[in-house]
């Protein structure tokens, strides 16, 4: 049975740089406040009218495909991870197929909705398809356009200052080389605290899951809910923007990050000292630094770029991995560890022998 390897990798971030100082025009915050809590200095925002989640994915995908040494028509399956799709439906997978100009091949397209751990989940799915021989060239993309859905006021600063836009992509292919490519992936979830990091409305839940239905727009008088429509009440109360209980997320993340990394290492008989490079999801620099200390890794063994790009959710790992590779920090035979934790809660890890 073959392993799956990353044959090509690419990323794209918009040209527009948004500094912390620029955000102070819209909310009560400071550069010092943001850096102290997140480590972020700046992020990229897409052009509101000219760039989309899919268009950024196309640019990242084209680079990955070229570096893999194949043509676009050679792609036989697409996996697209995002929480900010162009449309409520259909998903971005078919839109990417169309914009790449390969619709005639009628290949399958799968959309992944696992937010921050979306790329890890997508990598695990692609790995299984490659190992079974079902597909030979899988395009896996993580892309996000967060800037269109954030609350840029003081009320929303706890979330708005964190996120940025961008896309990353890889092409996975089979390899017969022993102990090469994806060695293992580990996936987990715990939905008991799903609303601690969520965008509740618009949605089709009708307040069903919530004890305080009024808090989520449920109207007892006519027993209706805004559904997938954004009502005046939803906008007034800002239920259509992301909510995050930062302390709850941090507490869970610093527990599960090390656990899932150790789980993967134990399965293949390796230790943290064997890691050449850890590329964590870029959620918060403080989380990455905590995980680094827990794993006993040096600064050279961990790659962070959240300082420049913010949290790009499903795109953060492929962007960081590609940038690390371009900077010569990922070399042949290196043991690369990818790990993510996010909304759901979902989390996972992957070990790759480059």
Residues with active-site annotation: 116, 281, 311
Distance separating alpha carbons of residues 353 and 334, to the nearest angstrom: 6
Distance separating alpha carbons of residues 345 and 251, to the nearest angstrom: 12
Beta-strand pair 77-81/108-112? parallel
Distance separating alpha carbons of residues 70 and 142, to the nearest angstrom: 20
Specify burial of residue 113 (Cβ count, 10 A radius: 0-12, 13-18, 19+).
middle
Which 3 state secondary structure label does DSSP give 217?
Answer: coil
User: CA triplet 345, 313, 228: central angle to 5 degrees?
Assistant: 70
Specify burial of residue 222 (Cβ count, 10 A radius: 0-12, 13-18, 19+).
exposed
DSSP state of 311: B
How would you label 184-220 residue by residue, b for 16+ Cβ within 10 Å and e otherwise? bbbbbeeeeeeebbbbbbbbebbbeeeeebeebbbee
């Amino acid at each position: 049975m073959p392993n799956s390897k990353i044959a090509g990798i690419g990323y794209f971030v918009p040209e527009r740089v948004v500094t912390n100082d620029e955000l102070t025009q819209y909310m009560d915050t400071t550069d010092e406040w943001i850096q102290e809590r997140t480590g972020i200095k700046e992020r990229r925002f897409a052009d509101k009218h000219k760039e989309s989640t899919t268009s950024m994915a196309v640019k990242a995908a084209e680079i990955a495909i070229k570096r893999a040494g194949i043509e676009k028509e050679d792609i036989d399956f697409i996996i697209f991870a995002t929480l900010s799709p162009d449309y409520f439906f259909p998903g971005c997978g078919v839109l990417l197929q169309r914009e790449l100009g390969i619709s005639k091949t009628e290949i399958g397209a799968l959309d992944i909705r696992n937010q921050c751990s979306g790329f890890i989940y997508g990598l695990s799915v692609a790995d299984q398809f490659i190992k079974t021989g079902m597909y030979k060239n899988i395009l896996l993309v993580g892309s996000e356009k967060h800037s269109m859905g954030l609350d840029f006021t003081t009320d929303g600063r706890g979330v708005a200052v964190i996120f940025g836009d961008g896309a990353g992509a890889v092409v996975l292919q089979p390899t017969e080389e022993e102990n090469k490519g994806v060695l293992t992936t580990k996936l987990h979830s715990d939905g008991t605290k799903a609303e601690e990091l969520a965008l509740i409305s618009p949605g089709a839940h009708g307040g069903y899951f919530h004890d305080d239905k009024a808090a989520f727009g449920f109207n007892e008088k006519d027993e209706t809910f805004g559904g997938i429509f954004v009502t005046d009440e939803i906008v007034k109360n800002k239920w259509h923007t992301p909510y995050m209980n930062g302390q709850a997320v941090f507490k869970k993340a610093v527990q599960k990050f090390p656990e899932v990394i150790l789980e993967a290492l134990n399965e293949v008989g390796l230790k943290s000292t064997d890691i050449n490079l850890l590329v964590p999801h870029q959620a918060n620099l403080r989380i990455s630094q905590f995980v680094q200390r827990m794993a006993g890794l040096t600064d050279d063994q961990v790659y962070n770029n959240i300082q420049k790009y913010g949290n790009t959710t499903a795109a953060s790992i492929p962007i960081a991995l590609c940038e690390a590779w371009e900077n010569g920090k990922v070399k042949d035979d290196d043991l690369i560890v990818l790990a993510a934790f996010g909304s759901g809660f979902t989390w996972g890890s992957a070990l790759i022998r480059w």
